[in-house]
Amino acid sequence: MSEQSNENTTAQEGTVDQNNNESKALEENAVPYTNETDSGAVQPAESSGSMSSLGLVLAMVLAFGAFFSGVEFGKGSTVTGQEASIFSLLKSEPTETFASTRPEMDEFWEIWDLMEEKFAGTDDTDVRTRLEGAIDGLVDSYDDPYTVYLPPAEAKSFNQNISGNFSGVGMEVGMRNNLVTVVSPLPDTPAEKAGVMAGDVIVSINGSSTEDMWIDEAVSLIRGEQGSVVNLEMYREGEMDFLTIPITRDKIEIPTVKTEEIGDTFILAIYSFNGIVEEEVRSALKEYIESEAETLVIDLRGNPGGYLGSAVSIASYFLPAGKVVMEERFGDSLENEVLRSRGNQLQIFTPENLVVLVDGGSASASEILAGALKDHGVATIMGAQTFGKGSVQELVKLDDGSSLKVTVARWYTPNGVSISKEGLTPDIFISRTPTQRLAGEDPQKDAAVRFLSGEEVVSETFEDEVKNTEAESEVEAE
């Protein structure tokens, strides 16, 4: 059986029914496999806006470890039969499709025999453990932090974590430079209240080092019983020492959208692309039209992603019918897929009347929406570099109980920018320091409003960033 998910992973709370396809497809770049996701990254399945599914959708969105992007079923290969066992991976006959790429295994077995003959250490490993180690090394050689081999015990633990009840801390984590990194703390959650910030690198979890730790394992350690405490040791850019942040786990409830008006500018903040976001954004845009505001800001900062279909639907309010929103590129065995605007264009938007705010916590579906509006020239992107999370994983369950989570597709903007590789670079770079964030100061939003009022706003330079960092250090020193 195979399931697809996004590379996000969230440490949130919720209930996921393993017998329900929709719940399996939820988390965001998170841990259960869903179409983008919050705990892992899988392409989210299409969501329905019906109230009957609201409870299920909310449970999925709040699931700590479920991918915010969701999982898409029915795509990719399905592994069945004894040929899917771990042992058959080394001895089965190659399929016609991949026969030409399979190397001879003579050297492998030669090394195997030499180890059996000559190794002088304590040999307390069985044959299965050695084979699992060999397969793990093969998978690791692809150098993709989201492609992971799970031996039976780890696969069982992973599946148990997807189902059942659990509480979290309210943040999404992903892999950056092979480090477990906070994509974004979600608003009004224990993580945000404890001071966790986007870009923080998790060094250890309750004393366990995250070095060489795969993302799903990190998420499983962060979650726990409601009311219990998890201690996270963090590296934060600009800090001389690691930070130790204790967080009390709790049930996670987050808003979907929030609106406000500043002068003639209407601001629409989207916090996640969950199952109800399309309906809420539609209502918010109606509010925008009725407000008679002349300009619009879409705030995607700290939005870790969600359902791919929701991102496409929302992009359709700003793009003519048929315009490319994103391209999903698969391996050589599958045809690439292009997703286009559905043609619900609200009005003619330009970079002079529409600003999209992004930062290091904007990921996955957020990057798809921002990238589409940027590439088609209908918005000015402002803020900081986005996280860079845009790949789809497929979870293949093998007959012996082990599983393979493998990246099967990557997301690209209409102009061919790889979201996973590069993220999105804003048109106008404006920073926001941790001190400003804690003080409630928002120079990024202020710059967007000034820009839309006709004031010239220029990108900060590297020297400006250095000055901000130095000023931050001086404040802390005092």
Q: Which residues are catalytic?
A: 364, 375, 389
Q: Which residue has the tokens 């599914």?
A: 53
**CA 371/CA 376 separation, integer angstroms:** 8
- Report which secondary-structure segment, H or E, holds 463: helix 462-477
Q: How far apart are the C-alpha atoms of 478 and 475, rounded to whole Å?
A: 5
Q: Hey, how many other C-beta atoms are within 10 angstroms of the C-beta on 418?
A: 15
C-alpha span between 34 and 67 (Å, rounded): 5
8 Å CB contact between 4 and 407: no
Q: How far apart are CA 108 and CA 85, in angstroms?
A: 19
Between β-strands 428-429 and 164-166, what pairing exists: parallel, antiparallel or unpaired? unpaired
Cβ atoms of residues 351 and 327 within 8 Å: no
Inter-residue contact 103 to 26 (CB < 8 Å) = no
Give the single-character DSSP code of 250: B
Find out whether 408 and 392 touch, Cβ atoms under 8 Å: yes
Q: Which of 446, 448, 326, 304 is nearest to 389 (CA)?
A: 304
Strands 171-176 vs 148-150: parallel, antiparallel or unpaired: unpaired
What does the block give as tokens for 294? 């002349």
Phi, psi of 450 (to 5 degrees): -65, -40
Bridge pairing between strands 2-11 and 39-41: antiparallel
Largest CA distance in the chain: 81
CA 246 from chain centre, in angstroms, equals 23
CB 354 within 8 A of CB 318: yes
Spatial contact of 325 and 306, defined as CB atoms under 8 Å apart:
no
